[in-house]
Amino acid sequence: MKKLMTGNEAIARGAYEAGVKFASAYAGTPSTEILENIALYKEIKAEWAPNEKVALESVCGASIAGARSLAAMKHVGVNVAADALFTYSYQGVTGGTVLITADEPGQHSSQNEQDNRNYGPFAKIPVLEPSNSQECLDMVKTAFEISEKYDTIVLIRMTTRVCHSKSIVECSDRLDIPLKKYEKNGPKYLTLPSFSRKNRVKVEERLNRLEDFSNETELNRIEDNKSNIGVIASGGAYHYGKEVFGDEASYLKIGFSFPYPDKLIKNFSEKVEKIYVIEENDPIMENTVKKLGIECHGKDIFPSYGELTPDVLRKALYGKAADTIDYNKDLVVGRPPTLCAGCPHRGFFYEIAKRKDVAISGDIGCYALGASEPYNAMDFNLCMGGAFSTAHGAQQVFDMNVDENKRVVGVLGDSTFFHTGINGLFNVVYNKSKAISVILDNRITGMTGHQENPGSGYTLQGDPTEMIDIESLVRACGVKNIRVVDPNNLADMKETLDWAVGLDEASVIITRWPCALKKFSKEDKEEFGDLFTSKYKIDFEKCIGCKKCIKTGCPAISFDKASKKSFIDILQCVGCGVCSQVCPVEAIERVEM
């Protein structure tokens, strides 16, 4: 059976065919669709975890209990999971264990551009790199065989283009891999120093055996085109190189990239006169080639960051990209990302943007757009779940300065709060901070495409579950001052901010309203009523062209320069009503649909 699949879909299919029984992840572009597709296979217990560390820890526990298990996350998520990863490298597996890292050369939706191949030598675990959807499927199956043969967790490094591009995949039946019998094994699975020191020796012995495998496996192969030019590449960069060089070069395609295939590299270098190493982002293979005493070109020619697309390679090699249709770039209007029409975060940012006495610590999610025009309502952000912690640190220093009467507001979303924001709130309360903590609860994980989370009431596979109540959880963290507010009500939003700023101790504001794009659950409808059943229009006779409605930043509202009047696109409007509250002449009217 052949199917057209993205790399993420193929990873999921590979997990199914490999006999995986348990999978866990935290959603994050470009990895999100892996678990969403695994969840379609009912033979696999698939779960969203509150964060990546919890996901990997759950997978390690499932492996210890005897099941083939898989975790998936984006590249920065591996940083969160690293504590578990490094220790499990020492312990080894019972059931095969695979960790998918989805890297983002080019930073399409990420706060950094790290190269997670570095985790191979750092954690001393094997690394595989598929370059197309078929390899995604095949390498997952191979990775589980490697994992169980060599007693190790295996890292598969994906990149954005491999995750999201489609190609034909040949599917097979699912393997019947029985659960392995659980046996108590303290020396293997207890991390007491006396045991870990012995396991450390085993890790080095394992690497030596894996290096032999790296030189023998068909995952690494030479494509000899009898050329004087040689290209060494892995992942998506292999296809980029093929598109630029074609048959004018020979190739060493690296699919198993750590431990490095030293003998194969030396063999390949003897067949060619000039070697180009094409890799995104760090010069890991290039440095390996040079350590072997082989001259090569890599980051001396190609960019050390960003995607190495064919056009980028052509410009680096030949000084120009392929010819394309030219156009007047001055006529292209910039379209920066913005909060959607009806976004429940709009009211909060509209009101807090007016305040000059606060510094705003943001986080990773849709609400990062609060930093943009017209709000300019974010001063700094660091990493996922860091808003409350950084707000606390900044507030402590502002409090040291008698001339600085500034309050710090930490802002994050509901899923981010469950991810790692809870620990930050503990810190605020424990250290007696007066930082203001705001949880923007839009009832779903918004930025990555509406994945369920502990506060939504449903699991990844659609089963009803306990809905964690954020207000109760915040109260359990020791917070005395809590307000829950509808962010679309600007008067209530303003009064709530005034209340929090007026306190001389920690407070938490929970804005609670569903994402405008969410598929509303029966619980949503019971709590919030008939959502978005009305829209708004502008009475042109009353409109004075003051543009205050434009300053709400709603993409459904535009301003006509000819008539000097504002206009609401009825197809985009979802009836949140924020614009009607800012109009000074009541020119914006509600229309029932």
Could you read off the pLDDT of 517-559 as tens digits, one per residue?
A: 998 999 999 999 877 788 999 999 999 999 999 999 999 999 9
Span 341-364, pLDDT tens digits: 999 999 999 999 999 889 999 998
Span 241-297, pLDDT tens digits: 999 999 999 999 999 999 999 999 999 999 999 999 999 999 999 999 999 999 999
Contact yes or no for 399/31 (Cβ under 8 A): no
Let me know if 552 is exposed, middle or buried by CB neighbors in 10 A (0-12, 13-18, 19+). Answer: buried
Contact yes or no for 170/132 (Cβ under 8 A): no
Cis peptide, bond prior to residue 8, ω within 30 of zero: no
Contact yes or no for 455/467 (Cβ under 8 A): yes
Count how many domains the chain has: 4
User: Helix, strand or coil for residue 592?
Assistant: strand
Lookup result for tokens 């757009």: 369
Mean pLDDT value of segment 561-588:
95
Lookup result for tokens 């499932």: 62
Same domain, residue pair 236 and 270: yes
pLDDT at position 333 is 83
Let me know if 461 is exposed, middle or buried by CB neighbors in 10 A (0-12, 13-18, 19+). Answer: middle
Contact yes or no for 352/409 (Cβ under 8 A): yes
Cis peptide, bond prior to residue 259, ω within 30 of zero: yes
Share of the chain above pLDDT 90, in %: 90
Same domain, residue pair 211 and 90: yes
Same domain, residue pair 470 and 449: yes
pLDDT at position 106 is 87
Q: Any idea what DSSP says for residue 371?
A: G
* Chain mean position to CA 314: 30
Mean pLDDT value of segment 202-216:
96
Q: Which band of pLDDT confidence, cut at 50, 70 and 90, is reported for residue 216?
A: very high
Residue 340 belongs to some domain of the structure: no
- 159 pairs with which residues across the strands? 103
Flag whether pLDDT at 402 surpasses 80.
no
Residue 326 belongs to some domain of the structure: no
Q: How far, in Å, CA of 246 to CA of 109, rounded?
A: 31
- Domain membership of residue 300 as a residue range: 221-318
Show which of 194, 216, 238 is a domain's final residue: 216
Show which of 487, 522, 557 is a domain's final residue: 522
* Beta carbons within 10 angstroms of residue 432's beta carbon: 10
- Biggest CA–CA distance in the chain, Å, is 82
Q: How far, in Å, CA of 331 to CA of 539, rounded?
A: 32
Give the β-pairing of 97-103 and 154-159.
parallel
Same domain, residue pair 476 and 546: no
Angle subtended at Cα 24 by Cα 473 and Cα 174, rounded to the nearest 5 degrees? 155
**Length of the chain as a residue count:** 593
To the nearest whole number, what is the mean pLDDT of the chain?
95
Residue 369 belongs to some domain of the structure: yes
Show which of 464, 490, 522 is a domain's final residue: 522
Contact yes or no for 533/460 (Cβ under 8 A): no
Same domain, residue pair 177 and 299: no
Same domain, residue pair 163 and 197: yes
pLDDT at position 340 is 94
Q: Which two tokens stand for residue 405?
A: 């009467």
Q: Which two tokens stand for residue 501?
A: 């700023």
* Chain mean position to CA 291: 34
* Beta carbons within 10 angstroms of residue 304's beta carbon: 11
Same domain, residue pair 516 and 549: no
Share of the chain above pLDDT 70, in %: 100
Residue 334 belongs to some domain of the structure: no
Angular region, 390: left φ>0, alpha ψ -120 to 50, beta rest:
alpha
Same domain, residue pair 170 and 210: yes
Q: Which band of pLDDT confidence, cut at 50, 70 and 90, is reported for residue 157?
A: very high
Residue 337 belongs to some domain of the structure: no
Residue 235 belongs to some domain of the structure: yes
pLDDT at position 326 is 85
Residue 338 belongs to some domain of the structure: no
pLDDT at position 323 is 81
Q: Any idea what DSSP says for residue 417?
A: I
Q: How far, in Å, CA of 236 to CA of 158, rounded?
A: 9
Q: How far, in Å, CA of 95 to CA of 179, rounded?
A: 8
* CATH number assigned to the domain comprising residue 551: 3.30.70.20
Same domain, residue pair 488 and 548: no
Same domain, residue pair 71 and 162: yes
Same domain, residue pair 493 and 570: no
Same domain, residue pair 353 and 485: yes
Flag whether pLDDT at 388 surpasses 90.
yes
* Chain mean position to CA 555: 25
Q: Any idea what DSSP says for residue 366?
A: G
* CATH number assigned to the domain comprising residue 290: 3.40.50.920
pTM exceeds 0.85, yes or no? yes
Span 452-510, pLDDT tens digits: 999 999 999 999 999 999 999 999 999 999 999 999 999 999 999 999 999 999 999 99
Residue 429 belongs to some domain of the structure: yes
* CATH number assigned to the domain comprising residue 65: 3.40.50.970
